[in-house]
Homo-oligomer: A and B are copies of this chain.
Amino acid sequence: MSDTPNRGILHLVPNTLDSHTTGALPPIEAVLPLGVIRTAARLEHWLVENAKSARAFLKRIDAIESLVRPLQAISVIELPRPQKGAREAAPNFDAPRWLAPTLKGYDMGLLSEAGLPAVADPGASAVEAAHALGVTVIALPGPSALALALAASGHNGQRFAFVGYLPTNEASRAARIRELEELSRRQQQTQLMIETPYRNAALLAALIQHLQGDTRLAVSCGLTLPGGWTRSERVAAWRSRPSQLPSDVPAVFSLDAGVAAAARN
């Protein structure tokens, strides 16, 4: 909400969830609303997680709705950032410099590599800075891997937490898994987590090993993509019939040790 009507708007533009796909990409209108595609097509100034993938995104937008200028004439600036999930401070974020176009009245787009920017993804510092500068922020609807995985799990969607990445050290990870299970049971709170794809199988193995047999465990792979799937069963069933997880596709993991949904809502 802005008191400074001469400023541009910062639009948070959802990306598709197929950035890891090596084959032919599905048409972008299968997963993004036309209203979002039209807004993206008219933005000349972008703050992005990755410039190369942002330009690929804009080419897919252009195929549906012509960009307001040739792609080469569109400003695409990368956000400074540490590794995903890292807690260290970023290099000094010079907000007025990065958001300069909005201060001159131009609308800007914020784009991450997949899904909604600033949700399990970089961008929150730009959004925070925008608010501080009196720049209006509008989040545009589109795919959110966490929300989709939670919906598809059938786990408690009235209370849930996203806890990010688990420790990679084996003993710390086991302790964290048991802590999350206890938290889920005590608070009736679903726990969502992610992992870098090459560690998908290791995280699943650890969850199956350390969770109790009657805890509900769900994994979503390739959300919104052909061939994507969600499996949601009790840990005991995962144990007796293991799943292979791909090592090159993002997955979302969800555990629910609370009361079953049928008895809840």
Contacts and interface: CB of A to CB of B under 8 A. Distances in A.
Interface of A: 1, 12, 17, 26-27, 29-35, 81-82, 85-87, 89-90, 93, 95, 116-131, 136-144, 146-164, 188-189, 216, 220, 223-224, 228-233, 243, 260-265
Contact of A154 (B128, B151, B154, B230): B128
Contacts of A93: 262
A261 B137 contact: no
Contacts of A152: 12, 127, 137-139
Contacts of A122: 265
Given A90-B265, A125-B265, A12 B232 contact: no
A262 B96 CA distance: 13
Contacts of A85: 158
25 contacts: A1-B229, A1-B231, A12-B151, A27-B35, A30-B34, A31-B35, A32-B141, A89-B263, A89-B264, A116-B151, A118-B150, A118-B151, A118-B154, A120-B157, A122-B265, A125-B261, A127-B152, A128-B261, A130-B154, A131-B154, A131-B232, A139-B148, A141-B148, A158-B162, A159-B164
Residue among A136, A138, A220, A243 with max Cβ neighbours from chain B (10 Å): A138
A184 to B, nearest CB: 12
- Copies per complex of this chain: 2
Nearest to A81: B265
A223 to B, nearest CB: 7
A162 B192 CA distance: 11
Contact of A139 (B81, B125, B151, B189): B151
Nearest to A241: B3
A137 B230 contact: yes
Nearest to A152: B139
Which 6 residue pairs across A and B have the least CB separation, nearest first?
A: A30-B35, A127-B154, A128-B154, A141-B143, A124-B261, A161-B161
